[in-house]
Structure 1
Amino acid sequence: MTDPGRPPRDSGGRSGERGSVPRSILPGALAVHADASGEDGRVGGPVRRTARDWAVDALAFAWAVGIWAVLVSRLDTYDYLPDWLVALDAPLGAVACIALWWRRRFPLLLALIMVPVGALTNSGSGAGIVIILNLALRVPWQRSLPVLCAMIAAVAPYVLIYSVPYEGGWAAAVFVLAYFLVFFAWGSALRARRLLVLKLREDADRERTEHARRLAESRRAERTAIAREMHDVLAHRISLLSVHAGALAYRTRKSEAGSGAQLSGAEIAESAQVIRDNAHQALNELRDVLYVLRTDTDSGEPAPPQPDMADLLGLVDEARAAGQTVDYGAEVDSASEPPRPQLQRTAYRVVQEGLTNARKHAPGSPVKVRVYAGSPREEVTVEVSNPLPAGVAESEIPGAGAGLTGLHERVELDGGTLRHGSVDGTFTLSARLPWHSPPGR
């Protein structure tokens, strides 16, 4: 909650300003951007006065004192008034003028005090104008309207006994009634406008907060998508590099120890070429991902081709070339209606992640890959399974489970479900993807 006695800081970190408007020229209730009704029901509650407030208070006091001085100078002309009423008029009017300095802090109390004072004095008319306007401005109408009625009722005897017979007839009565109603309506209009400004500011602050929240969520989603794409592209390729480099290092150590055949130059060159090709492929795939992330989708520029189910055989061949035993089978009838591109890309990533995990956590185990349509034109099932190694296998390739987390997010975004776990010594990664795009996607 905003401290009503302290000006807030705007988005630029500057105190005492709201946007480009200096705090000094705003009303105190708007300057602090307080709640639309304070704890005691007044607009903004008790606040520290701004330079504008001090100027307005000084002008209101000068106005009230000026009216008081003019009317006091004419008291001797009111020969139809009782002497006690004439004697009370000037001091009561002066008290009303001085009380204006507390009108912001105690608007309701000041108006209640003005009920008997207004019934006994003419010289307090200038102060009464300010007090009535201030009442309507700072107190809700449910409480200010009864006080206004009390003021009118209290002054009615004076009007009927003295004003109508001696001060202009019923026109004087109409003037007194208008005196109360006009300034009360003016204060009510100012209050409505001030509440509207506060409401608009609250809405703007709420919208800024919501925008910041949406922006943070968007950035978080973008970071997640980038991390997922990077992992899917690089984890598979880097794991292949690790396998080939590990095999080359293992055979080299064996050859140097004399327990294995010495590597020929051709074999070393072939292994180095495989490592180099995979490194180049990793760079190319990374470049494609970065291109997609950096390219404006509305620019009309063609995006680089994304992997699909037709590339699964090449993916399996790469795994086999790295030494994995892969049993691959696909049963998807796509002659009449090929699966949508997003489904094919997700299926490719599921197989890619499954092969990578098997290579990392179950090296040497045979891998079974199956892609088939469980229900024609309804869903495609992708399964990658491999026997678990005996005991606890220590992976030489570091991993934190981020691949399965990202894959789970990818499959859910595509409207599918992903399951993984081990049963009877076999680890299975299974994804079920809808043939057609889910509603709303």
Structure 2
Amino acid sequence: MTVAWITAALAALVWAVEQAAPGTLLQVNADHTLRPPVWWTPTAPLAAYAAMAFPRDGARPVWIRALPVAALLVPVGALGDVLPGSAMRQFSAQETDSIAALEFRSVFAVAVAALIGMYAAARRRAVQALTERAERAERERHLLAERARAEERARLAAEMHDVVAHRVTLMVLQAGALRVRAPDEPTREAAEELRGTGCLALEELRDVIGLLRRDQPAAPPADSGPLPDLSVLVAESAAVGVPVELAEHGDPPPASPAVGRTAYRVVQEALTNARKHAPGAAVHVDVRYRTDGVTLTVRNAAASREPDADLAASGSGMGLAGLRERVELIGGTFTAGPHLDGFSVEASLPAYVPVAKP
């Protein structure tokens, strides 16, 4: 709009000055050549196009944007009133047979440029509307998928709470009764171990149920505790002949129980996979503690011997996929893939995870 108004004002200024004092701005030499040439004809279409093609956000009506274009057409259409006839006859004879034809061509160029600008603006609005519609449809599809996922998680949580947790609770109670009534010490020890394992399973089950129900009102924050001691896993791997190096950086932050168990499972699964698929390979476990979480990296080198086919084929094959789901469930990130000549597993976990009441 600014460029269009300036162009219209300058064109009107030249016309007004030449009307009042001919020859002031447009002079004719002895050979009847015009100096300077007709300057506003090439600039006017560009100004008209810009005024119509680039409306501001919350655009002005078309008729307001067309005001400088209309003001520009007046002096352009009145060229014959201020241009010396002797010079224009020579100038027009090289291109057209009359001054009126030159005026018509100038007005036509400005009008066509304005129409093209209107088309460009309308096309841009249509493309923007289609883009917004596609983005809105994508957001709605994502919300529907999230709702379906939340409903499925709630159903799974209900099934786990009503069936699995109930059965495990019965197993813990029966193991406790067996410990009390067992006639010999080995049986009592086995019953106590079974009861402890069942209690741990119940705690982990409550964590999972709470995470699945995070769309419901959250429970009061559980007491944060230290992250689990990973040196036990390292010692277990070393005991079966896998050289494992553990490096810890920083101070362990207090973390939710669910985070601690997930960190333990990540390292455990990574070391198990290294034992199965890369026998004899050195494994490096890098643990970097942050104030807001922990980053775990487990890398192994290339296998020093062929893996046992039966051992490598054992398991469900869903270990890494299950880890990814478990890490993402508590708001972390998980990556796993080849690294140099070996394999790498990396997980970044937050320190605190809100859970709903199971």
TM-score class normalised by the smaller sequence: 0.3 to 0.5
- Structure showing greater Rg: 1
Higher relative contact order, structure no. (Cα contacts within 8 Å, ≥ 6 residues apart): 2
With normalisation by structure 2, the TM-score equals 0.38
With normalisation by structure 1, the TM-score equals 0.32
